[in-house]
A and B are shown apart, each in its own frame.
Chain A
Amino acid sequence: MPKLKSLEDLKRIREEAQKDLKVRLDTGTTITVGMGTCGIAAGARDTMHAILEELHKREIDAHVTTVGCIGMCSKEPLVDIEQAGHPRITYANVHPDMVPRIIEEHLIKGQVVEEWVFGRVTRD
């Protein structure tokens, strides 16, 4: 097995990450991508990749995770954005070319891209 050659990098990442770990886990933004058979076939993996690229490019810290099929297969790829103190927004049929606008308007300007919204859950 080729030894994990950048283990030193991991140690550095660990030290830096631990400083702000709690803040991130408690108050951050979570983006969830549907990754069931339906999502995968509809291109969810590429959508997720586009999200990661865009976050990296704009240096935005957000948690990105996946979930299985929730039964709305025709609306895949489904992308959920959850932010503390805001309703959870679900965007439907999110293709990679739509990702920059969602990140720009929703995450940076704080404006939901209404025309692409499929569902919204308010927590009290």
Chain B
Amino acid sequence: MRELSLHILDVLQNSLEAGASKVTLTIEEDLMADRLTITVTDNGRGMDADTVTKVLDPFFTTRTTRHVGLGLPLFAAAARRCNGDLVVESELGKGTTVRATFQHSHIDRAPLGDIRNTILSFLLAARPVDLHYVHRVNDRQFEFDTADIRAELGNVPLSHPAVRDWLSEFIAEGEQGIK
């Protein structure tokens, strides 16, 4: 994957498959500590201890449509080649947390990339899921929760074309503000 935001989209899709109704995505860029931390926490069905040990194995998947599961192994490889790591914590019936860390300035660290379209792609999933998004760059922060947006919209879905366009601009402005 050429951008970290593509790995993020992949992990967000896992949360969706796990039946989550609420997902929190936190991106923390601490330039003093030279650290980039990406955390995805969901309230999906979670995994037992045995399954958690297998998720970084590319030849393990819960799918029946194919025999490999490359999402998390690729993300872990990306983190580890940048003096970082990827950790998965999960509890059956409670949810899962995936945390990837990177040396921010590492030459091999892919750019964060198009986070706006990652979030939009996730929010357009057929089943509505709420996203709490936090992006921190040193002491500046952009944060929103789609639960607040949904409350304003009533029965109009996030996928409505007018809302879609609004979200796209809203995220672009927020990201611009913390650059």
Contacts and interface: CB of A to CB of B under 8 A. Distances in A.
Interface of A: 1-2, 4, 6-7, 9-11, 13-14, 16-18, 21, 24, 32-33, 35-37, 40-41, 44-46, 48-49, 52, 55-56, 61-71, 73
Contacts of B126: 32, 65-67
B42 to A, nearest CB: 15
Interface stretch (B31-39, B65-73, B81-89, B91-99): B65-73
Contacts of B124: 48, 64-66
17 contacts: A1-B141, A4-B152, A13-B153, A13-B156, A13-B163, A14-B153, A14-B154, A17-B156, A17-B162, A45-B121, A48-B120, A52-B168, A63-B159, A65-B124, A67-B126, A70-B65, A71-B66
Contact of A35 (B121, B141, B152, B165): B121
B162 A13 contact: yes
B24 interface: no
Interface residues of B, number: 46
A55 to B, nearest CB: 7
Contacts of B120: 48-49, 52
Contacts of A17: 153, 156, 160, 162-163
Contacts, number: 115
Nearest to A8: B152
A10 B152 contact: yes
Contacts of B155: 18, 21
Contacts of B164: 52, 64
Identify which of A17, A37, A61 gathers the most chain B CB atoms within 10 Å of its CB: A37
A34 to B, nearest CB: 10
A55 B164 CA distance: 11
Identify which of A1, A7, A40, A52 gathers the most chain B CB atoms within 10 Å of its CB: A40
Identify which of B122, B149, B161 gathers the most chain A CB atoms within 10 Å of its CB: B161
B19 interface: no
Contacts of B112: none
A36 B13 contact: yes
A100 B170 CA distance: 25
B62 to A, nearest CB: 11
A21 B166 CA distance: 17
Given A1-B141, A16-B162, A48-B121, 4 more contacts: A13-B160, A46-B117, A52-B120, A56-B165
